[in-house]
Amino acid sequence: MSVAIHATEKALCKVFSDDFAFSIPAYQRPYAWTKDQASELLTDLLSFLGDGSEAVTDANPYFLGSIVLIKGEDAPEADVVDGQQRLTTLTILLSVLRSLANSESASEITDYIYQRGKRLEGKENRYRLKIRPRDEDFFRHYIQDENKLDELLRLDTSQLTDSQRNIQINASYFFHELKLRSYQERDRFSHYLMIYCFLVVVSTPDLDSAYRIFSILNARGLDLTLSDFLKSEVIGKIHQSQQDKYTRIWETEEEDLGREKFQELFAHIRMIDRKGKPRKTTLKEFREDILPKIQPQKFIDEILKPYSDALEIINTANYRSDKDPETVNYLLRWLNQIDNFDWIPPAILYFSKNRHTPGKLKQFLSELERLAAGLFILRADINDRIGRYAKLITAIEENVDLYALESPLQLTPQEINRIIKTLDGDLYLIKRIRQYVLLRLDSTLSQGEANYDYSVITVEHVLPQNPSEGSTWLQWFPNEEERIQYVHRIGNLALLSRNKNAEAQNYDFDKKKEKYFVGKKGISPFVLTTQVLQQSEWTPAVINQRQEDSLQSLRKIWRL
């Protein structure tokens, strides 16, 4: 069924009219425009209006951008999906203009701020803009009602919330800037603002289509996310007496994780619940398939909070316990080096169930890192990974033996054989995995003490791919076909903490060690490279032994 979407250009006098009763949903960010943004808006408006030498009708119109609303066809009520910062700032500006106007103009401006009630009919004032509940009374009292602006400007900002402080600071800025102008200039500006300044109003009747519109507009830097919409869905269904409590829990978890990672959390929650690739939009899956199965308070208490806490530990590798935290965090750091995040949902689920049992975490993460690394080395595609981790999620939920041979957590004999074959082959040619494998090997050889916090790490050949004529390399490897069989294998690879020097790659072995593999302090930060420096020659026998030793170490790491 098609959904009606309307987009219309409207002058501000039509925006702040009986046609609209704007509400800022609870999922929106608090009012966040600072003095810089308010100053930019007022400066632009005054610049477009000009200095008064020409009539307002000759001034260039000003486009304020677009707002996105959830709004029915026949009712004025409209939830603001995008545009709250502009609508709030414009209302503050109108309030300031009203405070500086004569009584006749002030009365007209009030009509743009609220629709007057009728006492004899028992109708109260209907405010054109209703902001988030936490600041609604403050905004109504100091901005929308008459004769309160002076009181607002005298408030101690240290006692205000961030959004209230922004409201006060921007109101003060507008007041002092506009007070410098004459009554005629302010009246001319008010006329221009309401008649010649425009918004494109985009309206749609439901949340799904509004979210799709938002997603399209998101390239312009709008800051709403899926989690904001879900917050409205969940918090809105909780009894009003509990809404503040659960809003604080939600926002604390978002702050602890960070906005970007908090957004990712919902993709992981979706995977844990649905155990497969999305079949609808994520918003629709939550609304139709996930949230109806659980009470909103339980969703926050039993899913959102414990999963968020688990994800924070996983992302930061900062598990704390009296037992084995170093091993748990070591494994988490290596898991975070995998080039996909499909392993995270089962990790979240297991962490949320066993956070206070470090022995279980250590065993599980050891096996999960083995599985994730194995699938990474085999270059398993996304469908294979999601299918495998979906089975693992089910196994965790059903409390089956995760360490049995048939468990989805365990590599199959066929997978193990393919992994060994890959590691024993031309690893250098598999660009996506070569650095990971070598760093994992190097870390084990250093007993976990190596630090890999370098801006650049490169994988380099010891025996060059194209040795120079007359070099020692050709004496050690006279047969080109045989040489090619050695050049790309682990036994011939080393690590550097800087960009490669193309001229040095073909140096003879002694000079290459001195000029190429030694760091600034005369040593290498990598055990694998130190092994190279300890050799007096680099022959097939040396590479073969190193290949065998490296492969044995990797087989031990991942129990292959």
pLDDT for 118 equals 72
The pLDDT score that the predictor gives to residue 220 is 43
Question: In this structure, what are the phi and psi dihedrals at residue 201, rounded to the nearest 5 degrees?
Answer: -100, 115
Distance separating alpha carbons of residues 348 and 345, to the nearest angstrom: 5
Q: Three-state secondary structure along 44-98?
A: HHHHHHCCCCCCHHHCCCEEEEEEEEEECCCCCEEEEEECHHHHHHHHHHHHHHH
Pick the closest to residue 374 from 329, 326, 409, 425 (CA basis): 409
**Residue 219 — pLDDT band, cuts 50, 70, 90?**
very low
433-472 pLDDT, tens digit each: 999 999 999 999 988 666 777 778 889 898 988 888 888 8
Which among 206, 170, 214, 158 has a CA at the least distance from the CA of 28? Answer: 214
Q: Which of 24-38, 163-177, 186-200, 374-388 has the lowest mean pLDDT?
A: 24-38
What mean pLDDT is predicted for residues 314-328? 92
Location of structure tokens 């996304």: 382
CA distances from 389 to 142, 266, 383, 396 (A): 54, 17, 10, 10
pLDDT at 25: 80
What is the reported pLDDT for 214? 60
Give the residue from 542, 433, 419 showing the smallest Cα distance to 491.
542
- Average pLDDT estimate for 59-76: 85
Lowest mean pLDDT among 280-289, 340-349, 359-368, 545-554: 280-289
How far is residue 124's CA from residue 13's CA, in Å, rounded to a whole number?
22
**C-alpha span between 100 and 106 (Å, rounded):** 8
In the structure encoding, which two tokens stand for residue 62, read together?
């000003």
Query: 146 and 162 in contact (C-beta within 8 Å)?
Result: no
Question: Taking the model in full, what pTM does it have?
Answer: 0.69
Three-class SS of residue 201? Answer: strand
Task: With cut-offs at 50, 70 and 90, classify the pLDDT of residue 140.
Answer: very high
Q: Which two tokens stand for residue 12?
A: 């501000």
Q: Please give the structure tokens belonging to residue 391.
A: 């089975």
Q: Which residue has the tokens 């890999």?
A: 452
Provide the pLDDT for residue 33: 92
pLDDT of residue 1: 43
What pLDDT is attached to residue 222? 43
Token pair 């901005």 in the structure block, residue:
143
In this structure, what DSSP letter does residue 3 have? Answer: -
Angle at 101 between CA 98 and CA 107, to 5 degrees: 60
| Structural contact between residues 142 and 149, judged by C-beta atoms closer than 8 angstroms | yes
- Average pLDDT over all residues of the chain: 88
Check residue 228 and give its pLDDT.
76
Angle (CA) 399-400-401 rounded to 5° is 120
- How far apart, in whole angstroms, are the C-alpha atoms of residue 560 and residue 555? 5
User: Which is it for strands 6-11 and 21-23: parallel, antiparallel or unpaired?
Assistant: unpaired
Task: Judge whether 191 and 116 are in contact, CB under 8 Å.
Answer: no
In this prediction, residue 449 carries a pLDDT of 67
Query: Six-digit token pair at 29?
Result: 């960010």
For residues 42 and 93, the answer to whether their CB atoms sit within 8 Å is: yes
Q: What per-residue confidence (pLDDT) applies to 455?
A: 76
- Whether the predicted pLDDT of 221 surpasses 50: no
Range of lowest pLDDT (27-36, 298-307, 366-375, 391-400) = 27-36
Beta strand pairing call for 126-127 and 114-115:
antiparallel
Q: Tell me the CA distances in angstroms from 290 to 285, 287, 294, one per residue in order.
A: 6, 6, 8
CA end-to-end span of the chain: 54
Averaged pLDDT, 265-272: 95
pLDDT for the residue numbered 106: 92
Phi-psi region of 129 (alpha: psi -120 to 50; beta: other; left: phi over 0): beta
Higher pLDDT, 119 or 350: 350
Give the type of residue at 216.
I
Token pair belonging to 120: 């004899």
Q: In the predicted model, what is the mean pLDDT of residues 486-513?
A: 79
Q: How far apart are CA 149 and CA 155, in angstroms?
A: 10
One-letter amino acid for residue 435 of the chain: Q
Residue 216 has pLDDT above 70, yes or no: no
Burial class from Cβ neighbours inside 10 Å (0-12, 13-18, 19+) for residue 337 reads middle
| 11: β partners | 198
Can you tell me the distance from the alpha carbon of 30 to that of 84, in angstroms, rounded to the nearest whole number? 9
Q: pLDDT confidence of 422, banded at 50, 70, 90? A: very high
Query: How many C-beta neighbours within 10 Å does residue 153 have?
Result: 16
Span 359-385, mean pLDDT?
95
Among the listed ranges 178-182, 216-220, 498-502, which one has the minimum average pLDDT value?
216-220
Q: What is the pLDDT of residue 513?
A: 77
pLDDT at 503 over 60: no
Could you tell me what percentage of the chain is helix, strand and coil, using 3-state DSSP and rounding each to the nearest 5? Answer: 60, 10, 30
The 10s digit of each residue's pLDDT in 271-314 is 999 999 887 778 888 888 999 999 999 999 999 999 999 999 99
pLDDT at res. 212? 64
Task: Please state the three-class secondary structure of 394-416 as a single string.
Answer: HHHHCCCCCCCCCCCCCCCHHHH
pLDDT at 504 over 80: no
Q: Kindly report the backbone phi and psi dihedral angles of residue 452, in degrees, each rounded to the nearest multiple of 5, phi listed first.
A: -110, 30
Six-digit token string for 533: 């420096």
What pLDDT, on the 0 to 100 scale, is given for residue 236? 78
Lowest mean pLDDT among 156-160, 363-367, 395-399, 407-411: 156-160
How many whole angstroms separate alpha carbon 16 and alpha carbon 126? 12
Mean pLDDT along residues 119-133: 82
